[in-house]
Amino acid sequence: MNGDLFQGNFVDAVDEWTFDKIPGAANVLKTHWQTYFTEADVQKLASWGINAVRIPIGYWHYHNSVQNTPYISGADYYLEQAIGWCRQNGIKVLIDIHGSPGSQNGFDNSGHAGTVGWQTGNNMEITTNVLVEVATKYGAAQFADTVFAIEMTNEEISWGANDFGKTKTWTQTTYKKMRAAAANKNLILMMHDGFMGPSNWLDVNTALNGNSAKGSFYLDVHLYQNQVAADSKLKQGEHIQKACDYAKTEFLPASSNLPVVVGEFTGATDICANPDGTTSAGKTCSVRDCQCSATVGIDKWKAPLIAATRKFFEVQMQVYETHAQGWFMWTYNGPGAWGLANAVQYGLVGAKVTDRKYTNLCS
């Protein structure tokens, strides 16, 4: 996501595992941690109406030495610093353990692309120990005014090397240990749905939340419309309708009492916008002066593409605020329509994220 890092000696790195093996990585990472996200960024987020942030961090910043990994620790200092900035600006924090031992998904976002080894050896036990350490520190009274939740894993897969039943059993055991470790008894403990959908977590919810109208176990779902081939065949109106349908396909009725949060979404879709405001699917178009979001830099977007993307942004926010507990956009400083900073700068959202230009998009 930050191409500036992956240059020079680091051009062949594909994840943090390979990055951290390269001589000089410690100094490069330290500079990155000091400059990539600053207090000025938190002030911007607050000015845009953002009231909570989800901050990802790898497990190796808490438990690394016993595994003899190449990871370089040290980011927790900067996480704590960011929490202080958020406190000063009235923003709550969800701490997200984004990379788990052995890799929970084999994706680069776990820190180690390739083999999935989270459920092998003692990796799940190490994950629990990490989470108990994080819950002990950030679930303490001194952080209770700002840190409202901790996410146990990010995008753990539920197929291949991972058994979904084992994931759910581990979730219950680890939840209880984290709950016991956290002095803040209002702290929310959140789990990604493993791409299985909230309905497949109702048994875990019953075990942990019981009959409480809103307990302290929450579920995180990630809703993208640019990750599978079928989505690249949709016009923007069809993307919008799909987002409207999330009310039935992705969320639960209120009676389920399982709180769901959209932990990641984006405004990015593979569409092209024509001068008359109509759209087509894909990354190429033949109409004169049409623009495709995947091939035209966001600073060159014209009104039709901006309008189409803003509608998609706004319908998602409306649906998530109505049918879930809220949302976190992935991400603040990403490229194109992946970045909230870009979205604000180029009019893909309002000056405040609560400013809506379009209404009744699901009617």
Residue range 267-319, pLDDT digits in tens:
999 999 999 999 999 999 999 999 999 999 999 999 999 999 999 999 999 99
* C-alpha–C-alpha distance, residues 206 and 204, integer Å: 5
Looking at residue 291, its pLDDT comes to 98
C-alpha distances out from residue 49 to 14, 84, 95, 347, 355, Å: 34, 18, 20, 15, 9
By mean pLDDT, which of 59-68, 129-138, 174-183, 298-307 is the weakest?
A: 59-68
Nearest to 240 by CA among 159, 146, 165, 307: 307
In angstroms, rounded to a whole number, what is the distance separating the alpha carbons of residues 272 and 119?
42
What is the reported pLDDT for 218? 97
Confidence category of residue 65, pLDDT binned at 50, 70, 90: low
Separation of alpha carbons 24 and 29, rounded Å: 9
pTM of the model: 0.96
Backbone angles phi, psi at 217, to 5 degrees: -100, 120
Provide the 10 A C-beta neighbour count for residue 22.
Answer: 16
Closest CA to 149 of 36, 261, 265, 49: 261
Question: Model confidence at 256, in pLDDT bands (50, 70, 90)?
Answer: confident
The β-bridge relationship of strands 52-58 and 92-99 is parallel
Q: Which amino acid is at 233?
A: K
Amino acid at 234: L
Residue 91, C-beta contacts closer than 8 angstroms, at least 6 positions apart: 42, 45, 46, 50, 51, 52, 53, 146
Nearest to 50 by CA among 93, 82, 83: 93
* 66: confidence class by pLDDT, cuts 50, 70, 90: low
Which among 96, 322, 110, 55 has a CA at the least distance from the CA of 190?
96
The pair of three-digit structure tokens given for residue 255, joined into one six-digit string: 């009676």
Cα–Cα distance, 362 to 310 (Å, whole number):
14
Q: How far apart (Å, rounded) are the C-alpha atoms in residues 313 and 298?
A: 15
Span of 3-7, 72-76, 181-185, 347-351 with lowest mean pLDDT: 3-7
Task: Count the Cβ atoms, other than its own, within 10 Å of residue 313.
Answer: 26
In the 8-state DSSP scheme, what is residue 255?
A: G
Give residue 363's identity as a one-letter amino acid code: S
Catalogue the active-site residues.
Answer: 155, 264
Q: What is the DSSP string of 285-324?
A: --STT-EETTTS-GGG--HHHHHHHHHHHHHHHHHHHHHS
Tell me the β-bridge partners of 29.
none
The pLDDT, as a whole number, for residue 76 is 98
Q: Looking at residues 42-50, what average pLDDT do you find?
A: 98
Residues with Cβ within 8 Å of 198's Cβ and at least 6 positions away in sequence, in order, are 219, 221, 250, 251, 252, 256, 258, 260
Q: Return the amino acid letter for 197.
A: G
Which residues are registered as beta bridge partners of 333? Answer: none
**Average pLDDT of 132-144?**
98
Phi-psi region of 62 (alpha: psi -120 to 50; beta: other; left: phi over 0): alpha
pLDDT of the residue at 213: 62
User: Mean pLDDT across the chain, nearest whole number?
Assistant: 95
Confidence check: pLDDT of 67 > 90? no
Please, what is the Cα angle at 267 between 154 and 259, to 5 degrees? 45
Return the percentage of the chain with pLDDT > 90, whole number. 93
- The strand pairing partners of 97, in sequence order, are 57
Output the DSSP codes for 77-97: HHHHHHHHHHHHTT-EEEEEE
Highest mean pLDDT pick, 59-68, 80-89, 248-257 = 80-89
Percent with pLDDT over 70 in the chain: 98
Tell me the average pLDDT across 25-36.
96
Pairing type for strands 260-265 and 291-292 reads unpaired
- Render pLDDT for 172-226 as a digit per residue (tens, 0 to 9): 999 999 999 999 999 999 999 999 999 999 999 999 988 766 679 999 999 999 9
Pull the structure tokens for residue 105: 């998904």
Instruction: Match domain 38-196 to its CATH number in 2.60.120.10, 3.20.20.80, 3.20.20.70, 2.40.50.100.
Output: 3.20.20.80
Contact by Cβ (8 Å): 164, 194: yes
